[in-house]
Amino acid sequence: MSDMLNLGLIGAGRIGRLHAEHIAYRIPNARCLIVADVIEEAAQRAADEFRINYAVADYQTILNSPAIDAVVICSATHTHAQIIQEAARAGKHIFCEKPIDHNLTVIDAALAAVAEAGVKLQVGFNRRFDANYARVRQAIARGEIGQPHLMHIISRDPGPPPMEYIKVSGGIFLDMTIHDFDMARFLMGCEVEEVYTAAGVLVDPAIDEVGDLDTALITLKFANGAMGVIDNSRQAVYGYDQRVEVLGSKGAVQTDNNYPNSAVISDANAVRRDLPLNFFMERYVESYVNELQQFVDAVLEDTPTPVTGEDGRIPVLMGLAARRSYDENRPVRLDEITG
């Protein structure tokens, strides 16, 4: 393979456009040759703005092109697993946004196709590539805080997503907490064995009407004996709240929110600062660049991808266990979930 990776982008919505921009302007050893979207006008807009040669409605054009080395899948969730299988059979390496699917059997079929084809797959858990979380992982891996005992992940959105999205998202545990499940096992460097969920609808009664939740606490038991808690809300009126703390036998490590500036205003009434960055597109922009750069490098250098298909599967397993725990009001071991 040459020193330049030729990519095809499938899906030109919000996250697809973000990746297209990064490929065009921030990832020097990759270029996007074709963008596909079922709304061809959206594909054409992305092509015009981000230096992409061709815009098409049918992603099969990408899979059939001998010029394409790898695909970046940013289409609707229910299409991910099918496109992964088709891309693998076409011999294309694959970067796919999370989740692969909401069903473990479907995920397993996609991963089997990848293994049979011998292509690379990376799943888009971008928070692993954020500098704050990377430093927490480093502190734990290096033993800087000793043996980890307690983990607390705070992940609160500034407001609920549109109801049209909630209806098809798979629920809070598969569209929101899934990132935190990945973070828990990534930061701890250890698997979760059991979850217990307390949750409810405190933000918007309409969310309850479609069978979802908007506020949750999930406790985790890790294989190494450590314990954790994930704190989720679909509405934090002050902005996007993304923090983590890990307590260990020799100390603790914690991260704060990211802010648009470091200014602090002090007067006779209060000491205050501006609100945190408002949502994930602003908060995690560098992590999106870093994850895709590492995928490109892994393909060009024939090294393992940093977020594997199994890494994509386990947070879905955890999400299904969390929902069962809520429904049955009991702790649920992950090995209880079979499909």
**Could you report the per-residue pLDDT of 299-331, keeping only the tens digit for each?**
999 999 999 999 999 999 999 999 999 999 999
- The answer to whether the beta carbons of residues 16 and 74 sit under 8 Å apart is yes
- Taking the CA of residue 20 as centre, how many other CA atoms within 13 Å lie in the half-sphere pointing to its CB? 31
Q: How far is CA 218 from CA 104, 173, 245, 279, in A?
A: 21, 10, 15, 22
User: What is the C-alpha to C-alpha distance for residues 192 and 333, in angstroms, rounded to an integer?
Assistant: 9
The DSSP bridge partners found for residue 199 are 216
pLDDT in tens, 26-51: 999 999 999 999 999 999 999 999 99
pLDDT in tens, 191-242: 999 999 999 999 999 999 999 999 999 999 999 999 999 999 999 999 889 9
**Quick one: pLDDT at residue 259?**
86
Q: Which of 72, 323, 335 shows the shortest CA–CA distance to 216?
A: 323
pLDDT band at 254 (very low <50, low <70, confident <90, very high): very high
pLDDT at 92 over 80: yes
**Quick one: pLDDT at residue 274?**
82
**pLDDT over 70 for what percent of the chain?**
98
pLDDT at 60 over 70: yes
User: What is the C-alpha to C-alpha distance for residues 281 and 97, in angstroms, rounded to an integer?
Assistant: 14
pLDDT at 282 over 80: no
CB atoms within 10 A of CB 116: 11
Q: What is the pTM of this model?
A: 0.94
CB atoms within 10 A of CB 31: 15
pLDDT in tens, 135-157: 999 999 999 999 999 999 999 99
3-state SS, one letter per residue, for 129-177? HCHHHHHHHHHHHCCCCCCEEEEEEEEECCCCCCHHHHCCCCCHHHHCH
**Quick one: pLDDT at residue 279?**
65
**pLDDT over 90 for what percent of the chain?**
92
CB atoms within 10 A of CB 186: 21
**Quick one: pLDDT at residue 281?**
61
User: What is the C-alpha to C-alpha distance for residues 220 and 174, in angstroms, rounded to an integer?
Assistant: 16
The domains found in the chain, sorted by start residue, are 5-119 (3.40.50.720), 128-279+315-336 (3.30.360.10)
Q: Which of 93, 98, 133, 47 shows the shortest CA–CA distance to 318?
A: 98
User: What is the C-alpha to C-alpha distance for residues 244 and 183, in angstroms, rounded to an integer?
Assistant: 10
- The answer to whether the beta carbons of residues 292 and 123 sit under 8 Å apart is no
User: What is the C-alpha to C-alpha distance for residues 33 and 280, in angstroms, rounded to an integer?
Assistant: 27
